[in-house]
Amino acid sequence: MFRFFEKLVDPYQPYPDDDVPPTRLWPFLADYMRPFRSVLMWTLLTTFAVTVVEIGLIFYTGRVVDLLEVSGPTAFLSDHGVELGLIAAFILLLRPIAQMLNAMLLNQALLPNIATLVRWRSHRHVLRQSVAWFQGDFAGRIANRVMQTAPATGEAVFQIFDALVYAVIYLIGALLLLGGTDPRLMLPLAAWGLAYIVLCIVVIPRIGRASKDFSDARSAITGRIVDSYTNIQTVKLFAHTREEEAFAGEAIEHARDKFQVQMRLITAMELGLLLINGLLIVAVIGWSIALWQQGIGTVGTVAAASALVLRLNSMTGWIMWALSSFFQNLGVVREGMETIAQPIDLTDAPDASPLHLKGGEIAFHDVSHHYGREAGGLDRVNLTIRPGERVGLVGRSGAGKSTLVNLLLRFHDAESGRITLDGQSLADVTQDSLRQSVGMVTQDTSLLHRSVRENIRYGSADATEAEIIAAAKRVEAHEFILDLGDMNGRTGYDAHVGERGVKLSGGQRQRIALARVVLKDAPILILDEATSALDSEVEAVIQDALYGLMEGKTVIAIAHRLSTIAAMDRIVVLDTGRIVEEGTHDALIAQGGLYAGFWSRQSGGFLNAASK
């Protein structure tokens, strides 16, 4: 039975990707709730049934009191035994069924699936954002918002049915029940309801705003702490533990201030409840007793009215807390929307098609990109790299080398100009097909916190074990991989490498990254200081492997160690975003220009970035 309700909604069902999701709260929630429409309708109906039954039991309690008074002990069961038996059967059989259905819909069909659906779709949306988007925020804060928005959405929906809908139906039923005895009994309950609504209107939105402020502050704590943990080596290297404590402590104290504001509002709300509930109890019970004294009401009326208002008294704290929790969760959702409701900032064209490479010619046509500034990046670059040509990129830091590569990978869209691959504009092809055609090894290599095998297989998801090992051997990684082990006893290719690969040396990380690119075997290869983390002996071996890997590929290699690119077919020199020289190593040396100056000023084989 549990499984039936759990499978009423598939949280992973296909849905159209929305590059511009709703940015207002209710349309945002409605978009996520669309798969749950039928379940929400049934939940509403069962909540209505459960509430009506509860009010009916209070009404019937008053009737039982009246029957006891009229019949007396000897005739009571003979006169009303059948009726009482039917009511008992209803309470024992039908009432549990209604409540069980309501609980199953809430606890099995809604809560787990809503949280799963929101978390899954939010994560998918965030993954589609560009690299630049991720660079503008803390990874910890992004993850925190994805994680906390999901349960907050589920809890908000739960509170609507478990408390708010229940309370509205209960209040209407109570008014009808009291009005059936004497319409005047409705007046104190109506006045109480009005006061209750006013209290909610005044206090609850403030609690919602305070909750969002606290949620923001809590995310800031997460961001600062994760930043410290991620860069723990730098923290230790500069002996900045105290500074990091203070940095996090500032955010923690700010969060405490926001939480205190929230708690003050909750306390004020509880004091207001105590006052209006006391007035409700005195007014309704006192008035029902007065009606009994006048012969208008019965003892059962007094009993039912008393039970009703005492039940309302016990419910109000729970309902107000549910309202508070509801708005707190909405505050968390609003805070999460600041991340997960952002439009995708780098999208494929509506009619984008997969890239079809034949030779691998790369062409930059009058390309400029300054990251929205007036300087930096690239400035009117024209460059054509022929199919199978190996090109080295050289220049001082900030000359535009990384910008050129980032534009080629379409991590950014060029502000002006056009980039083509085999005549196909990057703007007209899908991003995934573009990047599947490019293999890249960077200087600062990051590995996933997974096994060595999974990290290498990232280059080709369907690679066999033999192909993985062959790729590792080709870059001199197989032997050290066999010696690896982690704290959970996993060894060799099963060993996990730690976050960003921190359990490995720089050279080991680089070789695993190279093995990943070997396995990918893409027709375009980009090497950004690919051997900078290797010692000279291993570098010589890897260089041979790389030259073998370059065969038949279009290659772009960025290097400060000029000896690693001296044998390239052509060397392109960038300076202040423009191509200032290009040619073979020998031709550029003979030219006596900027490249020749770099070559002559190298110290230990590295480019002196300050050289003129």
**472-489 tens-digit pLDDT:** 998 888 999 999 988 888
Q: Is residue 55 situated within a structural domain?
A: yes
Q: Where are the alpha helices (DSSP H) in 483-522?
A: 506-520
- Choice between 225 and 266, residue whose per-residue pLDDT is larger: 225
- Choice between 331 and 423, residue whose per-residue pLDDT is larger: 423
Neighbours of 600 (CB within 10 A): 11
Q: Is residue 394 situated within a structural domain?
A: yes
> 221-228, long-range: CB within 8 Å, 24+ apart, which pairs?
221/248, 221/251, 221/252, 221/255, 222/138, 222/140, 222/141, 222/144, 223/138, 223/140, 223/141, 223/144, 224/138, 224/248, 224/251, 225/140, 226/138, 226/139, 226/140, 226/141, 227/138, 227/140
Contact in structure between 104 and 6 (CB atoms under 8 Å): no
The C-alpha torsion from 30 through 31 and 37 to 41, rounded to 10°, is: -10
Q: Is residue 300 situated within a structural domain?
A: yes
Q: Is residue 564 situated within a structural domain?
A: yes
Provide the token pair at 448.
Answer: 């996933």
Q: Which residues are within 8 A (CB) of 607 and not within 5 positions of it... i.e. 6 or more apart? A: 394, 396, 559, 560, 561, 562, 598
Among 68-72, 225-229, 475-479, 607-611, the minimum mean pLDDT is found in: 607-611
Running DSSP on this structure, what letter comes out for residue 570? E
pLDDT score recorded for residue 533: 57
Mean pLDDT of 211-232: 84
574 and 603 in a common domain: yes
Contact in structure between 158 and 264 (CB atoms under 8 Å): no
Q: What is the 3-state secondary structure (H, E, C) of 434-469?
A: HHHCEEEECCCCCCCCCEHHHHHHCCCCCCCHHHHH
pLDDT score recorded for residue 603: 46
pLDDT score recorded for residue 218: 86
Find the distance separating the first CA and the last CA of the chain, reported in whole Å.
Answer: 77
pLDDT at 419 > cutoff 90: yes
- Choice between 326 and 37, residue whose per-residue pLDDT is larger: 37
pLDDT at 117 > cutoff 60: yes
The C-alpha torsion from 581 through 584 and 585 to 591, rounded to 10°, is: -50
* Boundary (domain end) residue, out of 340, 374, 402: 340
44 and 170 in a common domain: yes
284 and 400 in a common domain: no
Angle at 319 between CA 195 and CA 153, to 5 degrees: 125
Cα distance between residue 17 and residue 547, in whole Å: 41
Tell me how far CA of residue 359 lies from CA of 385, 389, 438, 523, 527, in angstroms. 11, 10, 13, 8, 19
Among 37-51, 118-132, 176-190, 327-341, the minimum mean pLDDT is found in: 176-190
255 and 399 in a common domain: no
Cα distance between residue 265 and residue 276, in whole Å: 17
311 and 224 in a common domain: yes
Percent of the chain with pLDDT over 90: 39
Instruction: State which residues form the domain around 474.
Output: 446-521
Tell me how far CA of residue 445 lies from CA of 55, 382, 469, 505, in angstroms. 66, 29, 20, 11
CA 546 to chain centre: 38
pLDDT tier at 605, thresholds 50, 70, 90: very low
- Choice between 606 and 27, residue whose per-residue pLDDT is larger: 27
- DSSP assignments along 584-597, one per residue: -HHHHHHHTSHHHH
Among 74-83, 169-178, 312-321, 406-415, the minimum mean pLDDT is found in: 312-321
Residue 578: what are its φ and ψ, rounded to 5°?
Answer: -125, 155
406 and 459 in a common domain: no
Q: Is residue 10 situated within a structural domain?
A: no
* CATH code for position 121: 1.20.1560.10
Q: Where are the alpha helices (DSSP H) in 90-185?
A: 95-104, 111-127, 131-135, 139-159, 166-181
pLDDT digits (tens, 9 = 90+) for 138-159: 787 888 889 989 999 998 888 8
Angle at 121 between CA 116 and CA 126, to 5 degrees: 130
Q: Is residue 4 situated within a structural domain?
A: no
Cα distance between residue 125 and residue 117, in whole Å: 12
Provide the token pair at 292.
Answer: 């009994």
Cα distance between residue 490 and residue 502, in whole Å: 16
CA 563 to chain centre: 45
Contact in structure between 556 and 391 (CB atoms under 8 Å): yes
* Boundary (domain end) residue, out of 281, 314, 340: 340
pLDDT at 387 > cutoff 50: yes
245 and 321 in a common domain: yes
pLDDT score recorded for residue 534: 64
pLDDT at 386 > cutoff 90: yes
Cα distance between residue 371 and residue 412, in whole Å: 9
Contact in structure between 516 and 508 (CB atoms under 8 Å): no
Mean pLDDT of 161-187: 79
Residue 580: what are its φ and ψ, rounded to 5°?
Answer: -110, -25
- Choice between 226 and 416, residue whose per-residue pLDDT is larger: 416
- DSSP assignments along 198-214, one per residue: HHHHHHHHHHHHHHHHH
Q: Is residue 544 situated within a structural domain?
A: no
Dihedral (CA of 407, 409, 410, 412) sign: negative
Residue (of 567, 565, 66) closest to 297 by Cα position:
66
Q: Is residue 16 situated within a structural domain?
A: no
Cα distance between residue 32 and residue 122, in whole Å: 10
pLDDT score recorded for residue 501: 61
379 and 317 in a common domain: no
Q: What is the 3-state secondary structure (H, E, C) of 405-426?
A: HHHHCCCCCCCEEEEEECCEEH
In one letter, which amino acid is 536? S
pLDDT score recorded for residue 604: 42
Neighbours of 178 (CB within 10 A): 25
Dihedral (CA of 141, 144, 145, 146) sign: positive
pLDDT digits (tens, 9 = 90+) for 485-516: 888 889 999 999 876 566 787 778 888 888 99
301 and 282 in a common domain: yes
Burial 561-586 (b: 16+ CB within 10 A, else e): bbebbbebebbbbbeebbbebbbebe
* Total of domains in the chain: 3
Provide the token pair at 380.
Answer: 């009117």
Running DSSP on this structure, what letter comes out for residue 90? I
Cα distance between residue 357 and residue 552, in whole Å: 13
Classified as helix, coil or strand, 7 is coil
Provide the token pair at 274.
Answer: 């105590």
561 and 421 in a common domain: yes
512 and 391 in a common domain: no
Tell me how far CA of residue 299 lies from CA of 68, 175, 183, 305, 313, in angstroms. 10, 19, 17, 10, 21
- DSSP assignments along 319-333, one per residue: HHHHHHHHHHHHHHH
pLDDT digits (tens, 9 = 90+) for 519-550: 999 999 998 877 765 666 667 767 777 777 88
163 and 58 in a common domain: yes
* CATH code for position 453: 3.40.50.300
pLDDT digits (tens, 9 = 90+) for 429-475: 999 999 999 998 887 777 888 899 999 999 998 999 999 999 999 88
Cα distance between residue 191 and residue 194, in whole Å: 5
User: How many residues comprise the chain?
Assistant: 612
Q: Which residues are within 8 A (CB) of 595 and not within 5 positions of it... i.e. 6 or more apart? A: 394, 571, 573, 581, 588, 589
pLDDT at 404 > cutoff 90: yes
- Choice between 398 and 392, residue whose per-residue pLDDT is larger: 392
Mean pLDDT of 71-92: 84
**Average pLDDT taken over every residue of the chain:** 86
Cα distance between residue 169 and residue 164, in whole Å: 9
Contact in structure between 330 and 157 (CB atoms under 8 Å): no
Contact in structure between 180 and 291 (CB atoms under 8 Å): no
pLDDT at 121 > cutoff 70: yes
